Chains A and B, each alone.
Chain A
Amino acid sequence: MDAILLQILNGLDKGSAYALIALGLTLIFGTLGVVNFAHGALFMIGAFCAVTLQKLMNLSFVTIDETQTDFLGNPLKVETPYIEGWFGPETGATIIDWSVPLAVLFAIPIMLAVGYVMERGLIKHFYKRPHADQILVTFGLAIVLQEIVKYFFGANPIQTPPPDALSGSIDLGIMVGFDANAIIYPIWRLVYFGFAVAIIGAVFSFLQFTTFGMVVRAGMADRETVGLLGINIDRRFTIMFGIAAAVAGLAGVMYGPLNPPNYHMGMDFLVLSFVVVVVGGMGSLPGAVLAGFLLGILESFASTTWATTTIPGINQIIIYLVAIIVLLTRPRGLMGRKGVMEE
C-alpha cells in the first residue's frame, strides 16, 4: 500500500510539469488553432528566468576587509552581494536563498511579454497556413530560442537550489499513519505539486468565472460569431497566448530545483507534452491536466524495479505506448470533444 502511494507521489512532480505544459499547449490550440512546437522552449525560458534572477541577485561589490587576511598576509577581499548591502546581511541572504520562488514574480511579466511578442510577431501570420507550416516555423523558432539561451548561459546545466527551508525531505508516511521511513519525500516536489495545482486552478477559474474568460470560451467554441458580435476576439486570444506562455514559463521556473536547467530541457519535455495533449484530447483543457498527471504517475510505476525486470525498458516507452494505443482506439483522446481533430 505504502509502495503504491510512494509511486503515485513520485509521479506527481513530472506529472505536474506535463500537465502545466500540456495545459498551455491546449490553450493555444483551442484558442488560436495553432500547433506550437516552441512551447517547450517557453518552459526552458522560464527556467532560465530563475537562473537570471539568481545571477542578478548574486551580483556583488568588493570590499577590503582589514580584519581578515589571506594566506599571504594581505587584507582579504570580500565579495558582498548588493542585496545584502541594501537590506542588511540577514535579510539579504534570505532574499537570495528564496530566489527561485521570487523568480516566479520576475518571470510572469517576462513570459507574458515573450508570449505576446511571439504571437504578434510570428504566430499571427500562420493562422491561415496549414498545420504542417505551423509545426515547421515553431520548430525553427524553438531551435533559435534554444541556441540563444545556449549562447548566453552555456551548454552545461546550472544549479538553482531551492530555499533552505524547503530543501531536504520529510517523512510523509508518519503523517498518514504508515511506519516511519516508509515514505520519505522531498519537500520541493510537494511544493511543485501544490504550485501546479494552484496554477491550474487559477487558469480554470479565470476561464470559468471572469467575463474575459467567458468571452474566450465563447471564442473557442465559435470564433466567427463572437467576432460578429463586435468583440475583438483576436486581441483576447493574443492575451491567452501570453497566459499560456506564462503557465509554461512558471512550470519551468519552479522545475529548476528538481532538475538543473539546461538549454535543451524544453525539447525533452515538448515531445512528451505533445503526447500528453494527444492522450488527453486535442483542445480539451481538463483532458490535458488529467492526462498529464496520469502519464506522470504511470511513468513512475513503470520505473519500479518490478516493472523494469518484468518488461525491460518499459519505463522508457510506456508513455509512447499509451499514446499509440489511445490514438488508435480513441483518436479524440480521453476527454476530447467528438469531431475535433479526429481524422
Chain B
Amino acid sequence: MFGLNKKDTSLLIIVGLLTLLAPFILNPFPEGSAMAQFNAGYPDLMQRFVIFGIFAIGFNILFGLTGYLSFGHAAFLGVGSYSAVWMFKLLSYNIIPAIALSVVVAGLFSLLIGFISLRRSGIYFSILTLAFAQMSFALAYSVLSNPKFNLTNGETGLQVYADDPQILQVANSPDLPHLFGLPMRATYTMDVGAWSFDFNAGYYLCAIIMMVVFYLSIRIFRSPFGMMLRAVKSNQQRMNYTGLNSKPYTLAAFVISGMYAGLAGGLMAAMDPLAGAERMQWTASGEVVLMTILGGTGTLIGPVLGAGFIKYFENIFSKINDNVLHSWFAFLPDGLEDAVVFVIHPFIGKGWHLTLGILFMLVVIYLPGGLVEGGQRLLNRIKRKKSKADDAKSGKTEPAE
C-alpha cells in the first residue's frame, strides 16, 4: 500500500491507530482515582507528544541516516515558530499560511546553515551547528528586538497584539489559531462511566500531519536517496573515492530535517500563538538528540517512541511530590518509609532532569540502539529461550559462537 512493503505498511497502520486512538490509550485510569495523575490524555500533552515526534523524526533523517550529529536543530524549530507567529500577526489566525511559511523559512535557513556547516564533518560539524544555533539564540534574544526593528520581541517572546494588522482576518472567525474557522482549542469531551476522554482539534491536526511526515520518512528511508545517505554514514571517504559527490545528498538531508523542525515549530505556534527565544537554546537542541538516541537512532519508529517517552515521563515525574511518595510507601515501617522517600526525592519533581541525564547516560553506555534495540534484544532472548527449550527436547547441540 502507498508504495510500501508489507512490514512498513503494518508499521504505518499501527502508528496511525495509536495516534488516532491516543485519547483512549493515554487515559486508562478513571477520573478522580488515585492513578488519574498518570493519565496523559489531555490535549496539551498529547500535542507535545506528536509535535516533538515530528521534530525527532526529522532529526533522525539527518542523524540516523547520515550520522551527522547536529547540535543546533532547535534553531530551525525556533525560526519556524517565529515565522508562524508573524503570519498570525500579519495575515490572520488561519494556520495554513503560518505553517506553510514556517516550513519554507526553516528550509531556507537550514539551507544556508547546512551549506556552510557541511563543509566539515564529525565533531567539527557538531560544533559549527552548535555555534550557529547559539548565534541565532543570542540574536533572537537581544539584537533582533530593538525598537526600530522588532522581529522577535526579545525576552517577552513574540505574540499577537490587538493592534496587529491581520489583514485577512474575517469578521466572525475565532480570535485564536484556527483552521478555516475550526479553533485549535476546540475540545470535545466524552464521558464514559468514570472515564472521560478529550478529543482536541489541534491534537488531531498535529496527529494527521505527523502521519503524513512519518509516511514521508518511511519513503525516504526506503528510497535510493536514503540508501545513499546510509552509505555516507558507513564510509564517506570510500563514497568520495568512487567519484561521487556526497555533499548534495547530505545537504538535502539537512534541509529536509530542518524543514521537519520548522514544521514542528510552526505547529507549536499554532497550538499556542507564542514564540520565545528559549526554544532555540542549545539545551533544546540537546533534547531532540536525547529523544532520538533514547528511542533508537536510524530506526523508523524510534524517534517517535523517544519523544513520547521523554515528554510523558517529564510530565509524570514533575508531578510526583513527597506526599505522593509517602502515600505509595505507606505500607513500609515509618523509619524505612522516610528513608525510601528521602532517597527517591532528588529524582522527582524538579529533579526530573537528573533522572533524564542518568537515563540518557545508561542508554548511551549500554543500549546505543535505544529502546528499539532493547525491545529487539528482549524479543530475541525470549525466542532463544523457546528455541533452546525445543533444542533440549530434540537433543541438538549448538556450535559455539
- A133 pairs with B357, CB closer than 8 A: no
B126 CB, min distance to chain A CBs, angstroms: 6
Stretch of B138-146, B206-214, B263-271 contacting A (4+ beta carbons < 8 Å): B138-146
Residues of chain A lying within 8 A (CB to CB) of residue B389: none
- B353 pairs with A131, CB closer than 8 A: no
Scan B119-147; emit 1 where CB is below 8 A from any A CB, else 0. Answer: 11111101110111011001101111010
Bound-state CA distance A132–B368 (Å) is 11
- B130 pairs with A147, CB closer than 8 A: no
B138 CB, min distance to chain A CBs, angstroms: 4
**Which of B121, B132, B142, B361 lies in contact with A343, CB distance below 8 A?**
B121
- A341 pairs with B122, CB closer than 8 A: yes
Total chain B interface residues with beta-carbon distance under 8 A: 42
Residues of chain A lying within 8 A (CB to CB) of residue B139: 313, 316-317
- A147 pairs with B121, CB closer than 8 A: no
- A147 pairs with B131, CB closer than 8 A: no
Q: Is A151 an interface residue (CB 8 A)?
A: yes
Q: Would A341 and B123 be within 8 Å (CB), given that A147-B354, A151-B346 are in contact?
A: yes
Q: Which of B141-158 contact A (CB under 8 A)?
A: 141-144, 146
Q: Which of B63-88 contact A (CB under 8 A)?
A: 67, 69, 71
A315 CB, min distance to chain B CBs, angstroms: 9
Q: Would A324 and B132 be within 8 Å (CB), given that A140-B360, A141-B361 are in contact?
A: yes
Q: Is B286 an interface residue (CB 8 A)?
A: yes
B309 CB, min distance to chain A CBs, angstroms: 15
Pick from A141, A147, A278, A331 the residue with the most CB of B within 10 Å.
Answer: A147
Q: Which of B372-390 contact A (CB under 8 A)?
A: none
- B120 pairs with A343, CB closer than 8 A: yes
Residues of chain B lying within 8 A (CB to CB) of residue A313: 138-139, 142-144
Chain B residue with the shortest CB-CB distance to A147: B354
Q: How large is the interface on A (under 10, 10 to 19, 20 to 34, 35 or more residues)?
A: 35 or more
Stretch of A81-89, A181-189, A242-250, A267-275 contacting B (4+ beta carbons < 8 Å): A267-275
Q: Is B289 an interface residue (CB 8 A)?
A: yes
Main secondary structure on chain B at its contact with chain A?
A: helix
B388 CB, min distance to chain A CBs, angstroms: 30
Bound-state CA distance A16–B123 (Å) is 24
Q: Is B239 an interface residue (CB 8 A)?
A: no
**Which of B71, B289, B351 lies in contact with A147, CB distance below 8 A?**
B351
- B364 pairs with A140, CB closer than 8 A: yes
Bound-state CA distance A267–B130 (Å) is 12
Q: Would A143 and B357 be within 8 Å (CB), given that A316-B143, A341-B123 are in contact?
A: yes
- A343 pairs with B356, CB closer than 8 A: no
Bound-state CA distance A215–B75 (Å) is 44
Residues of chain B lying within 8 A (CB to CB) of residue A143: 353-354, 356-357, 360
Residues of chain B lying within 8 A (CB to CB) of residue A282: 123
Q: Is B254 an interface residue (CB 8 A)?
A: no
B56 CB, min distance to chain A CBs, angstroms: 15
Bound-state CA distance A303–B138 (Å) is 14
- A278 pairs with B67, CB closer than 8 A: no
Residues of chain A lying within 8 A (CB to CB) of residue B130: 271, 274
Q: Which of A90-146 contact B (CB under 8 A)?
A: 122, 125, 131-133, 135-137, 139-144, 146
Chain A residue with the shortest CB-CB distance to B144: A313
Q: Is A190 an interface residue (CB 8 A)?
A: no
Residues of chain A lying within 8 A (CB to CB) of residue B368: 133
A59 CB, min distance to chain B CBs, angstroms: 23
Q: Is B203 an interface residue (CB 8 A)?
A: no
**Which of B131, B353, B356 lies in contact with A275, CB distance below 8 A?**
B131
Q: Which of A51-81 contact B (CB under 8 A)?
A: none
- B132 pairs with A320, CB closer than 8 A: yes
Residues of chain B lying within 8 A (CB to CB) of residue A274: 127, 130
Q: Is A227 an interface residue (CB 8 A)?
A: no
Bound-state CA distance A312–B150 (Å) is 13
**Which of B124, B282, B357 lies in contact with A141, CB distance below 8 A?**
B357
9 contacts between A and B (CB under 8 A): A136-B289, A148-B354, A278-B124, A313-B139, A316-B139, A320-B135, A320-B138, A328-B116, A343-B121
Query: Which residues of A are in contact with B by a Cβ distance under 8 Å?
Result: 35, 122, 125, 131-133, 135-137, 139-144, 146-148, 151, 267, 271, 274-275, 278, 282, 312-313, 316-317, 320-321, 323-324, 327-328, 331, 341, 343
Q: 9 other contacts beyond A275-B131, A312-B146, A316-B143, with CB at 8 A cut-off?
A: A122-B365, A135-B126, A140-B357, A140-B361, A143-B356, A274-B130, A313-B144, A320-B138, A327-B119
